[in-house]
Structure formats: structure tokens, C-alpha cells
Amino acid sequence: MPQEILPIIKPDELIEVNRTSELILIDASNGYGAKENYGAKHLEGTLYVDLNTQLANINADVSIGGRHPLPTLEQFSETLTSLGITPTSHVVVYDDKNGSNAAARFWWMLKSVGHNRIQVLDGGFQAAIKAGFPTSSKTEIPLKKEPYKIENWLLPLADIHEIDKVADDKDFLVIDVRDEERYYGEEEPIDLVAGHIPGVINIPFTSNLDSNGFFLSPEELKNNYMKEFGNTVAENVIVHCGSGVTACHTLLAVAYAGLKIPKLYVGSWSEWSRNNRPITTSKKE
């Protein structure tokens, strides 16, 4: 069985590993112009994965599963196969927002189907360039491989009905990783309604990073999250964001800290806020 590796890889480590072994590099940047930017300049040898069409199965009705529901297992299997990824591949994924774009989501999804050799590039695209990783604008062709067989999502998931039951339960901890301004309803640039789920706490995903935009050390992250979790067992910790993408940044940080990965509520605020559920904008005293 391939040896499990740390979920974060530093730019200098990536350069060294790229010299000595076969990697599959993935650019998971998304948003306006992301695919065009990839075509114009990407890390040499990198393939592109699209959040909306490959890492999600978007419904016309966003109230069902939120803005970025998980794809079916069959759809994700097709994506991995199209990228030439096999169960033993060493995969490194990056984006242009240090994992908060979609790299961490791709990491979580691969990890959740039992793939061990998957890492997110610390500092993302810009950090790799600064470290001297070569770039390219040529069309990258994935290697043809056998179909990647998937049986189930193995990491824990929560749904809206579980949130209904546990958001105010003192034995559970539900974490919203959006920026404080969105959590308190001071602004809402994406979803229809501002605010947060009553009873949940706010730990912005940006607190996982230092002033230079790199992940804090595993020791610092462990210290921070152990304080937040308190006596709550990992099975009772649930993490969400706007649409189940940025929440994976925090799940990645928790894994990097050496702690058990909590549940992901994929529907997140985009689902909750469209289902006549209670909403608050109040700050705790």
C-alpha cells in the first residue's frame, strides 16, 4: 500500500519531487477567467479541473444541495479517469487562492474516495512561480489510464437535516468558515440572504494562514483547533461555508494538524438560506 503523505507540500518540495518522480499536477483555480488564465500560463505539465462541471453536480434548484453539490461517484470516477489518475498516482493540486478556490475541495474529494497520495501546494500558483517552478502555455495531454473505480465517499458528511438537529446542541460544534462580514450578515456578495445559522461559530478559513498567505505550521494549527474543539469529539464537529468548497480549506488545515477530519456540510449556507431555515445576524456578547 502506498505510504500516506502530508496533505500540504511546500513549493521547494514540489520542485524536488517533480525532478525525481512522476507527478500528476492539477490546477483547480475557478471563477471568472480561470480556465483562460490556465491556458495562458500554468505550471508546466499541469492539467485543469473545473469546479462547476467536474467537482460538482450543479442543480437548477440551488435549494437542493446548495451551489456546489458533490458529483455522483460515477461522475467523479470519469473525471479522475480523464485526468489519467490511478489509485497509486501522486497528485498535487493547486489554485490561485492557496487552496480556498477549489484545490482543497479536490483534495477532500480524492481523500474521501480513499486516495492517499494527494497534496495541496502551499502558497498556490504564485508561490510555485516565485520558487522557480517552470510555467507553460501549451496544451497538456493526460496519460490514458484504466478507469478509476470508486465505491463510496469515505469521509464523514452532514446534511441539512442533521444541522437542524445539532446546531444548538452543546455536544456538537458547527463551524462556519466564511469571512466575519458574511457570517454576521454585514455583506453577502453571493447568496440571496445574509447571516448565519443560529448556534454555529465563526472560524474564518483565513485564520489557517500566516501573514504571507502560507498555512500555519501543523503545531500551530493543532493548538488553535484543539482550543476551539474543546471537549467536542471529532464525530460531532461539522464544517461549512457558502457552498461546500472553502470549508474544505479548514478540513485540510485540520488534517495537516494531525487531527481527525470533521464532517463536511456540502450544502452549506447556499442551501440553508434557501430552505426557510432560521437565520441570525447577531453577534455573541
Catalytic residues: 241
CA distance 212 to 205: 15
By residue count, the chain amounts to: 285
> Strand 91-94 vs strand 24-27: parallel, antiparallel, or unpaired?
parallel
Q: Which three cell numbers stand for residue 50?
A: 473545473
Rg of the chain (C-alpha set): 18
What is the secondary structure of 91-159 as a DSSP string? Answer: EEEE-TTTTTTTHHHHHHHHHHTT--SEEEETTHHHHHHHHT--EE-SPP-PPP----------S-EE-
3-class secondary structure, 243: coil
